[in-house]
Amino acid sequence: MKGYRLDLDRFYPGINALTLGTILVYLADKFENKKEPDPEINWVRNILPELRGALTFALESKAQDEMADYWTLISLAELRVLSAEITQPVTRAYRKALTASRRNESSLKSSLDQLEILRLLGCAAISYRLASNAINEELRRIHKEKDSEDQGAKVSKSRKEKAPGNGMEKSSYSPDT
């Protein structure tokens, strides 16, 4: 949380602090001794609403900018996964982020890995499914387009090889005849 407080315009430390804090509180609620709660976990539990509010304001403001990049938009989407009480904001946020991904598989897979951590821990189950389905759908679309492009390139190459006058056909002329 210190990293985000040092520079509130840098969302990455903030969304990481929120994600890790949410996971910490989730696990503490499951396993912590209720009679003797850890004061540091209570501090995190108490600061999460403030952090969530600051991130919501900052990310929503930045997302309004037409030049908002993928990482800003996906941070807002992850915030929605962690805090939305209804599913529509989650779906909307991921769809908007996906349009800014520029079909970057590495970025999409990184976002999917982040969601997988939440799934494995049992956090945000409904939102996780919506978000991961949206990313996986985009990855399938990218792979389908790449496969189509590869097939088109193969067909084009095959046509060039068969075309007369391209210098690739074998000559029937032999200097020995």
Q: What is the pLDDT of residue 85?
A: 81
Q: What is the pLDDT of residue 74?
A: 94
User: Any idea which of 6-10, 98-102, 144-148 has the lowest mean pLDDT?
Assistant: 6-10
**Average pLDDT value for residue range 9-17:** 84
Measure the CA–CA gap between 137 and 100, rounded to whole angstroms: 15
132-164 pLDDT, tens per residue?
889 999 999 988 888 777 676 666 666 666 655
Residue 11 burial (CB < 10 Å; 0-12/13-18/19+)? Answer: buried
Q: What is the pLDDT of residue 160?
A: 63
Crossing angle of helices 88-99/70-83, nearest 10°?
Answer: 170
56-98 pLDDT, tens per residue?
999 999 999 989 999 999 999 999 998 878 888 888 999 999 9
pLDDT of 24 above 70: yes
Measure the CA–CA gap between 89 and 34, rounded to whole angstroms: 33
pLDDT of 10 above 70: yes
Name the pTM for this structure.
0.75
Q: Region of 122 please: left (phi>0), alpha (psi -120 to 50) or beta.
A: left
Q: Region of 102 please: left (phi>0), alpha (psi -120 to 50) or beta.
A: left
What is the chain's length? 177
For the chain, the structural domain boundaries read: 2-156
Q: What is the pLDDT of residue 71?
A: 92
Q: What is the pLDDT of residue 45?
A: 94
pLDDT of 121 above 90: no
pLDDT of 171 above 50: no
Q: What is the pLDDT of residue 161?
A: 61
* 9 SS3 class: coil
Measure the CA–CA gap between 85 and 166, rounded to whole angstroms: 64
